[in-house]
């Protein structure tokens, strides 16, 4: 039923943008490592409403994540400054760019988007934009807007789709912020 272009996007088997997201292929943790991880702050919610005055005088640290990684709410991560955090977010959580994950006495951590491989194109017309958006969504992929450009994951199915639709595209690296990520239908 359907072909590979119908399959939902699965993360590529490539190095993670943030060191320490998993231990695949590595040696088991040593007792010393377990102590470091157990001392790591456990993050159960992301805060987007932190006032600048609450952060003044503190060192800004960041957690660089791809769009897919921002959906993985339960894991150990390492910030750009090498600090360990443990994410224990509610199921279905999606981290938003700019969210403050943790505020310590002298530092804080903000979510930032990592550059990732995407296919980018500028639609020739509104009709082309709608046609591509429909086809991408019909295959259960996400898309993002970057100025006048449309971005889709650099996946073979998306490359085949854009080629079949005769849409000229470039392979680039960009921060991918899918439309509607984290949106909920609440009353």
pLDDT digits (tens, 9 = 90+) for 9-45: 554 544 455 555 544 444 444 444 444 456 888 988 8
Torsion of CA 23, 24, 25, 31, to 10 degrees: 20
Delineate the domains of the chain, giving CATH numbers in brackets: 31-113 (2.60.260.20), 115-175 (3.30.70.790)
CA–CA gap between residue 144 and residue 133 (Å, rounded):
10
pLDDT digits (tens, 9 = 90+) for 148-168: 999 999 999 999 999 999 999
């Amino acid at each position: 039923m359907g072909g590979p272009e119908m399959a939902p996007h699965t993360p590529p088997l490539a190095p993670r943008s943030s060191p320490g997201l998993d231990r695949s292929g590595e040696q088991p943790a040593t007792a010393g490592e377990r102590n470091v991880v157990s001392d790591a702050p456990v993050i159960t919610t992301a805060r987007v409403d932190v006032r600048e005055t609450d952060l003044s005088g503190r060192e800004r640290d960041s957690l660089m994540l791809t769009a897919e990684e921002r959906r993985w709410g339960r894991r150990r991560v390492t910030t750009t400054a090498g600090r360990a955090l443990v994410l224990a977010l509610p199921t279905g959580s999606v981290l938003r760019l700019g969210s403050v994950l943790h505020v310590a006495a002298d530092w804080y951590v903000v979510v930032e988007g990592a550059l990732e491989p995407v296919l980018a194109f500028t639609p020739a017309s509104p009709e082309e934009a709608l046609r591509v958006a429909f086809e991408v969504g019909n295959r259960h992929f996400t898309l993002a807007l970057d100025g006048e450009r449309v971005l889709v994951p650099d996946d073979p199915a998306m490359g085949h789709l854009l080629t079949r639709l005769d849409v000229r595209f470039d392979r680039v690296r960009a921060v991918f912020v899918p439309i509607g990520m984290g949106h909920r239908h609440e009353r």
